Structure 1
């Protein structure tokens, strides 16, 4: 136990019921504000809480800060197909299986492919294909057929897709046939407005099935103002998976399986992080934070010779099992040497990193984020950053009318020096 917090120093021993707060349904924002930067901004600076508007952000950031954004782009991964009899079947594309497991080549695949999908209303889907009629990018009619190859536990199945015209990529198929996968707690279908507002203005790389929502508050004008005031910015790519909505059902976190998400960063980003030290790094969103902290553990494994095989990955409990004290500079340097030896400028890896109270941050000194669900791994991450002070932040937000979850308001969390 940590005598200052009465919390275990290893997140595996945490009880998720200790991270509960009362979130009335009426406090969940069902729609985005028309003006992205008009959202409210709660600023927590070393335990002192102030209320601002998001466009005030440049005046609230620490001097010399580097803001790191996740530039993933949400794909239209929700398919509403129909059986020959007319009955509907919902397919939510989670991850590619064949002929490619990596997202980029899977989305570029033509003609046919296999994905793991969540299946809704599938009890009456006995056999044979279901279909979606859609309009291709050239304006011509097209058809997607889906056949269930194998059922899995938890409501998922391996789904074989084929389509005509076969020259379309699967990304083009999803763009025409799919629907935007809004968070299930919104309880409504997506609209034309969501197609714009559920993407960040800097989204670049397709692959996410949920938006990195902290970035939804930024506008081109606000980004230009940050640049004009001398703040550095950088981008990473972590494709947010459906597991981000996965509730924690285990009594202890040791029994909760963290989802895997692919990440991509460039050698230029690694060099920028090295050159920026020791000035503060502010993660825009929990996905950016997990990516940055995962970089440290990827590099530490390389520096100590513990990385096994060509596929680099961060395990769920790696930080709590690894006693090696590798400097940030050494970890980032090891990643750069790995890229040079591999003849590439882009690091592709995956992470299952779970950050909770007891975690020691290596690269990040602050976080911009929305307000998260009770009993979620995202709330655990906030508690790791703020310590017991997370409750004061959420109590203040509830008492002062802040809007919660994906389309809700934002916060700038700057812990005191004793927390980093």
Structure 2
């Protein structure tokens, strides 16, 4: 059956399969680290610090990785990302090595791997599935990735309960190594290589539209991670008494639903840059409403479940529209340069959001995280109003 498909479609399926496999291990690893170290008695801020290098090196990797993809080809950057993730998982296997600096180093390697893989996959879509259907294929890739990340959250919690931390890590490393070997054999060698070799100075975007969209993305993803990454799972476990299965399942279902909405976004949002501001504005009100309801003494479980459902729908629509716009606005020759710069801003937002999530929760509670999230979303809305109208 695969032999009857066109070479472009086969390459698209291979890129998507790589991205899916990586996403499963990435989501599972994050949930494993959060739950394992929370049970060891680490504070929310200390847990956030475990991901500091993960997010920081994501910033660097997206900036440099776009240049590498344009010079070396997206096949090489994607395969490098898969190999580095296998190595990062193997670093966490010996129990005696699980000190904070070592885990931070492994997370740094995982952050590099994740953003090489994501930049390569998103850039490939413009080359493999362009034209009028571009928004559709970007939404399918992004939505399916986030649905699988939700599965990864559940997988991480389940593997932790069934196999323990080391057993879960070993199983994921073995499966991903097989995917990596298949990709080395079958992924096309010249995918995404620029005709004119870009200079290193070209890593910074010269497009006003890309720069504005990147700034909006920084605030959008910073707003999400300000309360979702550390504060929320710790609150659910410590304040509401949820166990591993409950926390992992709830966050997994949320991310899976978020991915499903992303896949449907082209039918809802339209494909205009001005939609970025129009859809960010109502999202700003959601964390405000949740914070006010928690402060008023409403049942926190009910408030968070309902609030997260609404937040997830609106955030998914915003995220999918952003993902389409950057691929659409990027230059086709050396597409990974603009995409890499944009996802550098995404990683910077996640870095700031992750650190603030742990710090604010420890110092002032979940409500403070929600108010800061609303401020970031307001900034994203204001920046998006400056995007071109066409």
TM-score range, shorter chain: under 0.3
More strand per residue: 1 or 2? 1
More helix per residue: 1 or 2? 2
TM-score, normalised relative to structure 2 = 0.26
Task: Kindly name which structure, 1 or 2, has the bigger radius of gyration based on alpha carbons.
Answer: 1
TM-score, normalised relative to structure 1 = 0.25
